[in-house]
Structure 1
């Protein structure tokens, strides 16, 4: 299992950052080669126990990334928001801890992920971390911009 963290600042307020990052319908537009195939929903519709699946690949070659929301608390007033999502797929496993908090200029998003990719030896975890950090950072910035 490898762990990485991405921090992204945004000019949008925390409630809007939360809505943009967890709007599963927007992920299809932003994340290359990935489509949410089950559980496409808005952030406001996600609750503890919500399940969704993202399919990554091209044509018949790819994998399903099955996830379940373990806990979710949207930001309110001065209180930060947090969500914990468990990845239970056959290829990608682990967990995501998302935190969104207010900053003087808008909001800050912290995405921490423990990731285990089937077939990738622990000694090569640094490759998984590097690629994942870059990809998730890029996607989070696009989601926060509203792309």
Structure 2
């Protein structure tokens, strides 16, 4: 089974500022709930096609690594951009996409989508029915923090 989650949040900041912030992978630890994001290979850049990142998702020592490889990277002249990743871990598998769309000189939208492979057949599908609203709520909370950090100005984002 494959499951699709999409989220969108309007931002009162230029697309370039939003793009820079959402693709600064370690800063995602500040707004993605219960997740620590880092470069999979500190010696290699994690921007552009072939870049690799990983995210520890969980509480304390209980959790899992979500490993990702960037499969598409586009930066637009208006400051927006799109990044697609392939989740290659043992728990999370599938595709993800981040996109920042310019809505004028001082406004943008951040779009997040995940097309995940839900393992476990019928049992996995049943588990997904329970987990989906929890995951969606966590994502919504994270996007609210992202919006707050970006719209709070450089001082707020720097504290993040």
TM-score, normalization: structure 2?
0.76
Distance, in Å, in 2 between the alignment partners of 1:93 and 1:128 is: 16
Deviates more, 1:97-106 or 1:45-54: 97-106
Shift of 1:45: 5.2
- CA shift in 2, pair 1:118/1:9, >3 Å: same
Cα distance, 1:128 vs. partner? 3.7
In structure 2, the gaps of 5 or more residues are 150-159
SS of the equivalent of 2:48 reads coil
| Superposition map of 1:93-132 within 5 A | 93-104=93-104, 106-119=107-120, 121-132=124-135
CA deviation profile, 1:87-124 (whole Å, cap 9, x unmatched): 11101111112221111450011111112344561244
Aligned to 2:10, the other structure's residue is in SS state: strand
Q: Distance in 1 between matches of 2:98 and 2:108?
A: 13
Q: What is the aligned length?
A: 144
**2:18 aligned with 1:50:** no
Give the gaps of 5 or more residues in structure 1.
none
Structure 1 partner of 2:142: 139
For the pair shown, the structure with the greater C-alpha radius of gyration is 2
- TM (normalized to structure 1)? 0.81
